[in-house]
Chain A
Amino acid sequence: MSLRPIDWLVMLVYVAFVVGIGLILKRHMKTSTDFFLSGRALPAWVCGLAFVSANLGAQEVIGMAASGAKYGIATSHFYWIGAIPAMVFVGVFMMPFYYGSRARSVPEYLRLRFDEKTRALNAVAFTVMTIFSSGISMYAMARLIQILHLFDAPLAWLSISPAWGFHLSILVSALVVLVYVFFGGLSGAIYNEVLQFFLIVAGFLPLVWLGLKSVGGWESLKARVPAEMTHAWMGMGSPHTNPLGVEWFGLAMGLGFVLSFGYWCTDFLVVQRAMAAHSMSAARRTPLIAALPKMFFPLLVILPGLIAIGVAAPATRPAAQNSTLEMKTAPAADFARGLIPAKTNGATGEVVRDSDGKVVLDYDLAIPNMLLRYFPSGLLGLGLTALLASFMSGMAGNVTAFNTVWTYDIYQAYIRPGASDSHYLRMGRVATVAGIALSVMAAYLATRFNNIMDMLQLIFAFVNAPLFATFLLGMFWKRATGHGAFFGLLSGTLAAALHHGATLPAGAVAGIKGGWLGPLLHSYPSEMAQNFWTAIFAWTTCFLATILISLVTRPRAEKDLVGLVYSLTPRQREQDVAWYLRPAALGVGVLILAAALNFIFR
């Protein structure tokens, strides 16, 4: 079976709307604030849904379903422990400083609070990271489209080789995102992220319903898969008794504190969405509104992965690496678990095995295979459009964050200060084109040097892990100094690299997975445990080094820190909004709901 006209029509309607929104917004882009910060004029619910959608890139939808199939409900920790508490913290405690300081970006806050060098370090690392993240998102999408042979029929009709499907996917997605960000700026991205949010829900909700119906409901699914896959906290007392290979302390500290707070509280990609809100109150509500749908996302993205494992393997397996959408190469199908086929070598077609000779499963195909198994023509078009929407929102999120940090924190700060506002608006558009062109290059780099991309992601992890310590001290300890922040960050990154170099996950070979320093100090039961502990080491080192260096260097005058540090900033009084809309009340409500979900799926 190939896609029918109705499926293409659904995709075309979506593309027409996202491009149309960008073009409509073009006439509202008069100043650089309009372009980079949506004129700080958006309502909280729009920013909130964009906040959650900007993070819904390739890693989220495909990766979380893959983890759902591999580890089960324990993957929900990435939401209930690894996102919700940090989202509440940034809304209640940190947003007053981001929004109230009138900083236009996260690096700019670092300049106001600390100094120029700390900002430069953060701005450069961030711009490089966004380009590669966007490139990886683009690469993942093009690979998926290639595996599903989506463009084969139209290409055959044009007498073009199917191999061009990959290039066409990259070109089309880059062009669509380019149009709506180039013309609509941050508003174009945010409005489309809201639209994409609803589309992702609309595309995946019937998948969960049909999947659960086919396995006979949740209770029946529980009976079909191992018990630890349907419980989030089972066996978390020891790293050896749960599928994640990590104990509760490493999970709570590494994921729940360091990594989660480091991402949700300091990454400009998400913080930018809140900074576009029309008021301080709306900016503070943004992450809290986002937390509500976020905590139910495991239902949409993790559950399909679990169902893919629990469902009986079909007679003809969906998904494909040959010429039709329904056939799967025979060897891969023979080793399948539910709807998850074995991973095959792209060149030889042979099944991939690990160092112990066990077959490696291609968990990334969980969502695509579920779509192909349960969705007839029509709904299949909607499901695939939802998938494309998630890729595009992730890419656009990175591009808008890149163009802002590049223009304000690098170009205006170091290359051309003092130019007119219209000049920076033009630079923002140039940066959008350049950002997308660089993302395309990064996507092609990923096709040639997979290891380089792995290595870059590892370096980003080293750079990001200590970041939250810098912000925490910056916002809540007035004695923290610029030298302390800068050298604290560097020492945290160094600590992360050293810890990674001296440890190794079980069964891994020294190299990109760790252990490259020579003598091994420790062996972790899983790669996840190693990642969490690398983050804990990096954060602690940065925290202590920043304190020590700050104590021996000269602090800034208190009058310069008003609005930037907690103890020197007047408390926000939210008298003009109903009590249940105040950040503290919303935050408590969100935390109670998240705790209830943890309890239900314990």
Chain B
Amino acid sequence: MTAEQKGIIDNLRKAIFEYNVDLAQESAKEAVEKGIDPIEALNAMTVAIKEIGDAFGKGELWLPDLVGASDAMQGATPVLEDEMKRRGVHRESLGVVVAGTVFGDIHSIGKTMVTTLLTAAGYRVEDLGVNVKAEVFIEAIKKHGADMLAMSALMTTTMTEQEKVIDALKKEGIRERVKVMIGGAAVTDEFAEEIGADGYDPTAPGAVELARKLLEKQ
């Protein structure tokens, strides 16, 4: 790798640590222009995100840091993924997770914390955002060949929507293909069991641990 290419990789890492979306996007474009392997560029950012995630887990960093780093990562990812498609290459990951906040619920913070830390841990995360309908989850699971579905619902009024998604997975005959992890302030272990989810954890770092355990069993 040339000194110039190394400088670009350093800037990608710097963008994560400084929560700088603009720098992340510019550096990703530069990386593509200068012929840097997009997988290598993504890996460099993933390592940086992992450091942020670890510091968050230890209580050294806070939510605005996690969200800032995640935004920077998301700024660069589409550019690098386009380049991967163009080159026809794929990135090794621990598994593919489709994630989103369920229909009727627009609370994104908890879900974003989990997706950021899952990305940091080496999973490929397809974040569908908030207010996601059951059919959209199903389409994404099929399209990306997901290993896991991670759903979030903050309110007692929307947490039952998670059950509807699980029922829809059954109807489609793909329930056995994916592990289902749920989260949200009102959710409990009992509720997770009742609606037929595979697991629940109250914290974002705990959710990553749970994902690891569930996917290891497969």
Partners in one complex: no
